[in-house]
Amino acid sequence: MEKSIVKIENLSHRYSNTWAIRDINIEINDFGIVGLLGSNGAGKSTTMNILCGSINQTEGNVFINGINFREDPKRAKMEIGFLPQNPPLYLDLTVDEYLHYCAALRNMYGQPGKDAVAEAKERCGISHFGGRLLKNLSGGYRQRVGIAQAIVHKPNVLVLDEPTNGLDPNQIIEVRSLIKDIAKDRVVIFSSHILSEVQLLCKDIKMIENGKIVFSDTMDAFNNYVEPHSMLVSFQNMPLVAELEAIPGILKADILNGKLVRLFFSGDAEITETIISESVQSGWRLQEISLEKNSVEEIFKQLSQH
């Protein structure tokens, strides 16, 4: 069986007497963007810092392309690129000076280093800014330089911590597009607490809450995790609230206008059939039923409480 690109087994880490994360298990086998989602303080940063080799875990193992981080950290780190929430830029250097410095940190000197920097600049759309001082770049282009340093050594795994934080709407769109392009030939682990950002970019999602994995599946599965619990129903002859709330499974009825009502229900799969039957018997003349999907924010809230 082909080895995983990223495999995290029973990962736990303790600061003093407090466990920041406990028994985290993640496996990633395909290229693309994987969202690491969680509220502030959930354990995302600890997990990323261990994954990138910044700190050593208390328990468990991390494998990158089959390389055990504990046994061969130098080789494992060669497979990883990292962009922290605040890009590690030296603002008094030019783009070229900075990226050549980053290439040298990766033991890439001479022509190989020059070629790697040129390729990273091309990929990130900053080739024409080589001589520009970093302090004179906009936030969006600084972020592009940060991504360029993270991919200069062509890692198989790229870890991005809140990469669009602090950018304006146009810059966010540009950086999202760049991340999608980069993810075509590597795993991108994208950390955020912004649900809409993860929803737009990621194909899979891992959610950490209170130091534990509470969800691990596709983005579609995440969106559908919680069944619809309300519906909009229109009647030609609107029944009384008491009549609607007397239907088995209906928890509450909010009449929105003379013909439209929002019904909250307990999750009974037969509820629509029950309403249709009741409407026929009572002469309410049902016109339309539409289930309301829970928003991603509501799903996040429910998962966080588990």
Render pLDDT for 38-62 as a digit per residue (tens, 0 to 9).
Answer: 877 888 889 999 999 889 999 999 9
Q: What percent of the chain has pLDDT over 90?
A: 65
Please answer whether residues 288 and 228 qualify as being in contact, where contact means their C-beta atoms are separated by less than 8 angstroms.
no
Convert the pLDDT of each residue in 156-176 to its tens digit. 999 998 898 888 888 888 999
Contact between 291 and 264 (Cβ < 8 Å) = no
pTM of the predicted model, to two decimals?
0.77
Residue intervals in the chain for CATH 3.40.50.300? 1-79+157-163+192-225
The kind and range of the H/E element at 276 are helix 271-282
Higher pLDDT, 298 or 62: 62
Residue position matching structure tokens 């502030």? 40
CA 130 to chain CA mean position, Å: 31
- Per residue in 183-231, pLDDT tens? 999 999 998 877 778 888 999 999 898 899 988 999 888 877 655 678 8
CATH 3.30.70.100 domain range(s) in the chain: 230-304
Phi/psi of residue 215, nearest 5 degrees: -160, 135
Tokens matching residue 15: 């600061």
pLDDT confidence tier of residue 118, bands split at 50, 70 and 90:
very high
230-304 CATH choice from 3.40.718.10, 3.30.70.100, 3.30.1490.20, 3.40.50.12280: 3.30.70.100
CA distance 124 to 146: 10
First CA to last CA distance, the chain: 34
Predicted confidence at residue 1, as pLDDT, reads 38
The CATH architecture assigned to 1-79+157-163+192-225 reads 3-Layer(aba) Sandwich (3.40)
